[in-house]
């Protein structure tokens, strides 16, 4: 979908949602471009995709989204392994840590 034509292409809740989504995606972005001189300075471009090119999105109210967990995932604590390299140079053994 073209994010520049949300106003013309959608209505109601879908339009409100997509406009909020676009605002969030563009927060912190900048556009100092000057097309007259072929100079483009943009923080990032956005692309909003709904569905796939070969399978359009179909809304089915009977399918409920999975609840997102607010619990943090446990982090596995590992001891860092020291990196030791040794090599010989001029009859000396050098160890790099």
Report how far Cα 39 is from the mean position of its chain's Cα atoms: 25
Contact 1, 9 (CB under 8 A): yes
pLDDT interval class at 27 (50, 70, 90): very high
For residue 97, pLDDT over 60 is answered with no
Asked if residues 14 and 1 have their Cβ atoms less than 8 Å apart, the reply is no
Residue 45, phi then psi, degrees to nearest 5? -100, 150
Query: Distance from first CA to last CA of the chain, Å, rounded?
Result: 53
Q: pLDDT digits over 31-78, tens only?
A: 999 888 888 899 999 999 888 888 888 888 888 877 777 788 888 888
Tokens of 57: 């999105």
């Amino acid at each position: 979908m073209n994010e520049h034509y949300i106003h013309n292409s959608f209505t109601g809740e879908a339009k409100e949602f997509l406009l909020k989504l676009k605002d969030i995606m563009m927060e912190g972005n900048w556009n100092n471009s000057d097309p007259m001189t072929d100079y483009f300075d943009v923080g990032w471009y956005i692309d909003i995709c709904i569905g796939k090119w070969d399978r359009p999105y179909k809304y089915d109210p009977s399918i409920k989204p999975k609840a997102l967990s607010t619990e943090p995932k446990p982090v596995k604590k590992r001891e860092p392994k020291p990196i030791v390299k040794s090599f010989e140079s001029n009859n000396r053994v050098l160890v790099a840590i």
